[in-house]
């Protein structure tokens, strides 16, 4: 299949996230790799995804499993070679699947040559490539800023006798985006991958690029305003209003430069907005106007509490107020949060209902590997933990390993068909084996449900690129209409008790019975628990 040159391919696209360490091991070392991804791309194509997003595979000491980059323009040997990546892109494009990669440019590894030079002294050519600051008079850090991974966001460096900023691990120093040379360097790295055929990027921590150049302290956040959407509840990071360490206005001009680099290649970007207080506002700022990134995904659907009908109305009301043309990319699970089936306590029936809901909201959609199998969060023993975040806050927060365990392809294999090694980097969950890909061939399986759902979405332009109006909630029921070359009515019962829905005036034809939808032959529809109705105006 030849991919069409469509600069708007991202609008309404379904993006399948692959965590490379855990997708498929091709060489028997217990760690997934790029050739393994290539070998399994048929699964992604058969699912109906438009694109894949591959989490970082760059050279890295792996202190944060690839999110600490030591070379932006090469593949870590653990995952393969640049030739392996080129083969992956070719195979994906042959299957009609676009390729997006994770770009981590807010910070590097402390092993990156840029940082090695920057920390040498205060006068070298890269001395200002990272965020350095003198201590306060009493020797303490220059601001009260906190790291998401715990403790101060400042680490002392004896060579320069200064502190450097790290919003994450101490081994992940923040780049200084106030320096034009830094911006040019990361844009050049971006173009390196565009020239290799990449179709787009997921921008890690997109709102962390700039810090307040005056190094002002963050104010405290009142107890009643704190939440655990960005960091776990036990993390003091939630005690601050993060006004000065991230989400700075200077970021908008850089994103315009970034978009300009993408334009000649027809590439797209989706940004991760990590801000519990202003996530939707920032998403609106970053995606509006057509000159910054195309999409962002906020944390509203990644929150710990199950998303209710009233929550959805609130989210879309805020979007309409902030920027009607902002384009979200919805996701309920990813590599950083507990899988939503476990997080929200969903039955298979509830999981199917939410899958259809997410696929009918205005915006693009991101699915996380294994979501299409209905995988719950894996239980990981402390001695098997790899995630430094979980090790730091155990047992109140168990980290991110439970959502990162290997993909299961075969149910009759102790390693789930992921690897031939005796031991994989994280243990395969025995509870996942009955849900392996090979075990879900039947028409009633979760995998079959997702395949039908994505085919249904693709067949209806109004769901992919159309408008959305009339969102309203009554009890557990949320309803709205999608507008395009047809008008679709969508209503979902996000609870276990039966509920009644009245369709708008007019004639309606029921759709999506093969997805479990309820017949809409009359003006009033009774929805069972976790029931939904999709109908087309005729």
The DSSP string of 432-446 is GGGG-GGG--STTSH
Catalytic annotation present for 204:
yes
Catalytic residue selected from 64, 272, 371, 387: 272
29 by Cβ neighbours in 10 Å (0-12 / 13-18 / 19+) ranks as: middle
Q: Can you give the C-alpha Rg of the chain in angstroms? A: 23
Q: Are strands 524-527 and 58-59 parallel, antiparallel or unpaired?
A: unpaired
Catalytic residue selected from 25, 110, 204, 285: 204
Q: Which of 442, 284, 426, 451 is nearest to 359 (CA)?
A: 451
Contact 287, 295 (CB under 8 A): yes
Helix H, strand E, coil C: the string for 98-124 is: EEEEEECCCECCCCCHHHHHHCCCCCC
Distant-in-sequence, close-in-space partners of 225: CB < 8 Å, separation ≥ 6: 277
How many separate helices (H) and strands (E) can be counted in the chain?
A: 13, 20
| Residue 163 bridge partners (DSSP) | 133, 156
| Residue 492 bridge partners (DSSP) | 478, 532
C-alpha span between 296 and 269 (Å, rounded): 8
**SS3 state of residue 311:** helix
The DSSP string of 309-349 is HHHHHHHHHHHHHH-TT--BEE-S--TTS--HHHHTT--HH
Tokens 């109705």 -> residue: 533
C-alpha span between 384 and 376 (Å, rounded): 18
Tokens coding 497: 């008790």
Contact 61, 111 (CB under 8 A): yes
Tokens coding 71: 């070379």
Contact 369, 17 (CB under 8 A): yes
Burial code (b: 16+ CB inside 10 Å, e: under 16) for 70-85 equals bbbeebbebbbeeebb
Catalytic annotation present for 486:
no
C-alpha span between 226 and 237 (Å, rounded): 10
Q: Which of 358, 356, 376 is nearest to 366 (CA)?
A: 358
Looking at residue 406, the DSSP 8-state letter turns out to be P
C-alpha span between 426 and 430 (Å, rounded): 12
C-alpha span between 155 and 133 (Å, rounded): 10
Q: Which residues are tagged catalytic?
A: 204, 272
């Amino acid at each position: 299949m030849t991919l069409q040159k469509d600069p708007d391919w991202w609008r309404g696209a379904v993006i399948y996230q692959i965590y490379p360490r855990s997708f498929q091991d091709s060489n028997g070392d217990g760690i997934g790799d790029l050739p393994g991804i290539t070998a399994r791309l048929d699964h992604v194509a058969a699912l109906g995804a438009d694109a894949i997003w591959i989490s970082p595979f760059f050279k890295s000491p792996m202190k944060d499993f690839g999110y600490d980059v030591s070379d932006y323009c090469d593949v870590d040997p653990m995952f393969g070679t640049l030739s392996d990546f080129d083969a992956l892109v070719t195979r994906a494009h042959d299957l009609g699947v676009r390729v997006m990669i994770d770009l981590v440019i807010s910070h590097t590894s402390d092993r990156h040559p840029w940082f090695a030079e920057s920390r040498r002294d205060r006068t070298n050519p890269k001395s200002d490539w990272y965020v350095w600051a003198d201590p306060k008079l009493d020797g303490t850090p220059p601001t009260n800023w906190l790291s998401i991974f715990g403790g101060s966001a400042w680490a002392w460096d004896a060579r320069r006798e200064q502190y450097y900023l790290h919003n994450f691990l101490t081994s992940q120093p923040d780049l200084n985006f106030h320096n034009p040379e830094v911006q040019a360097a990361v844009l050049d790295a971006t173009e390196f991958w565009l020239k290799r055929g990449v179709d787009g990027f997921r921008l890690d921590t997109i709102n962390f690029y700039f810090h307040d150049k005056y190094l002002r302290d963050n104010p405290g956040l009142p107890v009643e305003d704190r939440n655990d959407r960005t960091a776990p509840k036990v993390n003091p990071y939630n005690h601050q209003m993060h006004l000065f360490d991230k989400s700075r206005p200077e970021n908008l001009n850089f994103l315009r430069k970034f978009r300009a680099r993408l334009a000649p290649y027809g590439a797209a970007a989706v940004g991760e907005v990590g801000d519990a207080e202003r996530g939707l506002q920032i998403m609106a700022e970053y995606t509006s106007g057509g000159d910054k990134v195309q999409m962002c995904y906020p944390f509203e659907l990644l929150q710990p509490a199950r998303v209710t009908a009233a929550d959805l109305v609130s989210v879309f009301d805020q979007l309409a107020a902030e920027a009607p043309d902002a384009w979200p990319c919805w996701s309920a699970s990813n590599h950083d949060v507990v899988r939503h089936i476990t997080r929200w306590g969903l039955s298979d029936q509830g999981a199917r209902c939410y899958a259809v809901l997410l696929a009918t909201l205005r915006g693009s959609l991101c699915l996380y590997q294994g979501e299409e199998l209905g995988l719950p969060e894996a239980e990981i023993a402390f001695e098997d933990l790899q995630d430094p975040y979980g090790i730091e806050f155990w047992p109140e927060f168990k980290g991110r390993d439970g959502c990162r365990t290997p993909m299961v392809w075969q149910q009759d294999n102790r390693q789930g068909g992921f690897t031939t090694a005796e031991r994989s980097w994280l243990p395969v969950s025995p509870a996942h084996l009955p849900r392996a890909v090979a075990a879900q061939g039947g028409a009633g399986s979760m995998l079959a449900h997702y395949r039908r759902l994505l085919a249904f979405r693709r067949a209806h332009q109004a769901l992919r690129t159309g408008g959305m109006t009339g969102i309203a909630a009554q009890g557990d029921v949320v309803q709205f209409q999608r507008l395009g070359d047809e008008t679709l009515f969508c209503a979902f019962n996000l609870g276990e008790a039966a509920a009644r829905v009245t369709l708008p005036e007019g004639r309606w034809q029921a759709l999506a019975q093969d997805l479990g939808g309820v017949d809409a032959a009359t003006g009033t529809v009774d929805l069972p628990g976790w029931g939904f109705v999709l109908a087309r105006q005729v």
